[in-house]
Amino acid sequence: MSLDLTRLSLRFAAQPVLFAPLTLHVPRGTITTVTGPSGIGKSTLLDAIAGTLPGGVAMSGGITLNGQDITGQPAHRRRIGLLFQDAVLFGHLSVGDNLAFGLSPDIRGRAARRKAVTTALEQAGLGDMASRDPATLSGGQKARVALMRSLLADPQALLLDEPFSKLDAELRDEVRSFTFAHVRARGIPVLLVTHDHADAQAAQGPIVALGGRRP
Amino acid sequence: MTQGGLRICVLIVVALFGAGPILAGLWQALRASFAVLPAIGATAPSLAPWRELAHLPGIATSLRLTLISGLGATALALLLVMAVCITRSGRDIAAHAPKRPRHARMGTRQDPKAQPATPQPSHPSAPSAGPRTAHLALAPVLAPFLAAPHAAMAIGLAFVIAPSGWIARAIALILGWSSPPAWITVHDPGGVALMLGLVIKEFPFLMLVTLSALNQIPLHRTLVTGRTLGYGTGTLWLKTVLPQIWPMLRVPVMIVLAYALSNVDMALILGPSNPPTLAVLLTRLFSDPDTTLLLPASAGAVVQALLVLATFGVLWATGRAMRAVGLVWLRLGGRGARPAWPGQMLRTATSVVMAGLLTLGTLSVLALLMWSLAWRWPFPGLLPQTWSLHAWQGAQGNWHAPLITTLVLALATTALSTLLAIAWLEGEDRARKRTPAWGEAMIYLPLLVPQISFLYGLNILFLRLGLSGGLAAVIWAQTLFVFPYVMIALAAPWRALDPRLARTAAALGAGPWRQLVAVKLPTLLRPLLIAAAVGGAVSVAQYLPTLFMGAGRMTTLTTEAVTLASGSDRRITAVTAALQAALPFAGFLAALLIPAVLHRDRRALRGGGGSPG
Query: In this predicted model, what pLDDT tens digit does every residue of B142-186 receive, in sequence order?
Result: 888 888 999 999 999 999 999 989 999 999 999 999 889 988 889
8 Å CB contact between B565 and B500: no
Distance from CA of A207 to the nearest CA of B (A): 21
Average pLDDT across chain A, whole number: 91
Instruction: Give me the mean pLDDT over the B294-302 stretch.
Output: 95
Instruction: Note the pLDDT of residue B60.
Output: 95
Instruction: Note the pLDDT of residue B94.
Output: 43
8 Å CB contact of A92 and B602: yes
Q: Could you give all domains of chain A from N- to C-terminal order, each with its CATH number? A: 2-90+139-209 (3.40.50.300)
Q: How many CA atoms lie within 13 A of B269 on its CB side?
A: 34
Instruction: Note the pLDDT of residue B119.
Output: 33
Question: Alpha carbon B416 to chain centroid distance?
Answer: 19
- For A113-157, the DSSP string reads HHHHHHHHHHHTT-TT-TTS-GGGS-HHHHHHHHHHHHHHT--SE
Instruction: Give me the mean pLDDT over the B219-235 stretch.
Output: 84
Q: Please give the biggest Cα pair distance in chain B.
A: 79
Residue numbers in A near B499 (CB within 8 A): 54
Q: In a mutagenesis test of the A interface, which of B504, B514, B600 is the best target, namely the one with the most A β-carbons within 10 Å? A: B504
Percent of chain B with pLDDT over 90: 60
Distance from CA of B208 to the nearest CA of A (A): 28
Instruction: Note the pLDDT of residue B553.
Output: 85
Cis peptide before B204 (omega within 30 of 0): no
8 Å CB contact of B116 and A12: yes
Instruction: Note the pLDDT of residue B136.
Output: 46
Helix intervals (H) in B34-58: 48-55
The string over B564-592, giving b where at least 16 C-beta atoms fall within 10 Å of a residue's C-beta and e elsewhere, is bbeeeebbbbbbbbbbbbbbbeebbeebe
- CATH match of B46-95+134-386 with 1.10.3720.10: yes
Whether B134 shows a pLDDT value over 80: the answer reads no
CATH of domain B1-41+389-607: 1.10.3720.10
Instruction: Note the pLDDT of residue A56.
Output: 84
Least confident residue range of A21-30, B36-45, B359-368: B36-45
Query: In this predicted model, what pLDDT tens digit does every residue of B522-539 receive, in sequence order?
Result: 999 999 999 999 999 999
Query: In this predicted model, what pLDDT tens digit does every residue of B519-578 receive, in sequence order?
Result: 999 999 999 999 999 999 999 999 999 999 988 889 999 999 999 998 778 888 999 999
CB atoms within 10 A of CB B8: 12
Q: First-to-last CA distance in chain B?
A: 30
What's the Rg (C-alpha) of chain A?
17
In terms of Cα–Cα distance, which of B129, B209, B115 is closest to B496? B129
8 Å CB contact of A134 and B605: no
Query: In this predicted model, what pLDDT tens digit does every residue of B384-396 receive, in sequence order?
Result: 999 988 888 875 5
8 Å CB contact of A88 and B431: no
Distance from CA of B577 to the nearest CA of A (A): 39
Instruction: Note the pLDDT of residue A169.
Output: 85
Distance from CA of B498 to the nearest CA of A (A): 9
CATH topology of B1-41+389-607 equal to that of B46-95+134-386? yes
Query: In this predicted model, what pLDDT tens digit does every residue of B430-463 receive, in sequence order?
Result: 988 888 888 889 999 999 999 999 998 888 888 8
pLDDT band at B603 (very low <50, low <70, confident <90, very high): confident
Residue of B nearest to A131 (CA): B601
Residue of B nearest to A134 (CA): B613
Give the one of B113, B115, B613 whose C-beta lies nearest to A142's C-beta: B613
ipTM above 0.85, yes or no: yes
Whether A24 shows a pLDDT value over 90: the answer reads yes
Q: In a mutagenesis test of the A interface, which of B508, B513, B516 is the best target, namely the one with the most A β-carbons within 10 Å? A: B508
Query: In this predicted model, what pLDDT tens digit does every residue of B65-108 receive, in sequence order?
Result: 999 999 999 999 999 999 998 887 654 444 444 444 433 333 33
pLDDT band at B341 (very low <50, low <70, confident <90, very high): low
Percent of chain B with pLDDT over 70: 89
Helices A139-152 and A95-102, axial angle in degrees (round to 10): 30
Give the one of B503, B511, B519 whose C-beta lies nearest to A90's C-beta: B519
Whether A194 shows a pLDDT value over 70: the answer reads yes
Whether B126 shows a pLDDT value over 50: the answer reads no
Residue of B nearest to A45 (CA): B110
Give the one of A39, A75, A92 whose C-beta lies nearest to B523's C-beta: A92
Instruction: Note the pLDDT of residue B114.
Output: 33
Domain boundaries defined on chain B: 1-41+389-607, 46-95+134-386
- DSSP state for residue B526 in the 8-state scheme: H
Instruction: Give me the mean pLDDT over the B492-510 stretch.
Output: 94
Give the one of A12, A75, A134 whose C-beta lies nearest to B507's C-beta: A75
With H, G, I as helix, E, B as strand and everything else as coil, classify residue A26.
strand
Give every strand in the sheet of A31-35, ordered side by side.
Answer: A80-83, A157-161, A190-193, A31-35, A207-209
Distance from CA of B255 to the nearest CA of A (A): 32
Give the one of B1, B514, B519 whose C-beta lies nearest to A74's C-beta: B1
Whether A66 shows a pLDDT value over 80: the answer reads yes
Q: SS3 sequence, B325-359?
A: HHHHHHHHCCCCCCCCCCCHHHHHHHHHHHHHHHH
Average pLDDT across chain B, whole number: 86
CB atoms within 10 A of CB B289: 5
Query: In this predicted model, what pLDDT tens digit does every residue of B418-427 receive, in sequence order?
Result: 999 999 999 9
Distance from CA of B496 to the nearest CA of A (A): 15
8 Å CB contact of A82 and B507: yes
8 Å CB contact of A142 and B605: no
Residue numbers in A near B109 (CB within 8 A): 43, 85
Query: In this predicted model, what pLDDT tens digit does every residue of B11-35 receive, in sequence order?
Result: 999 998 889 999 999 999 999 999 9
pLDDT band at B338 (very low <50, low <70, confident <90, very high): low
Residue of B nearest to A106 (CA): B509
Distance from CA of A9 to the nearest CA of B (A): 14
In terms of Cα–Cα distance, which of A109, A114, A50, A52 is closest to A80? A50
8 Å CB contact of A51 and B506: yes
8 Å CB contact between B559 and B546: yes
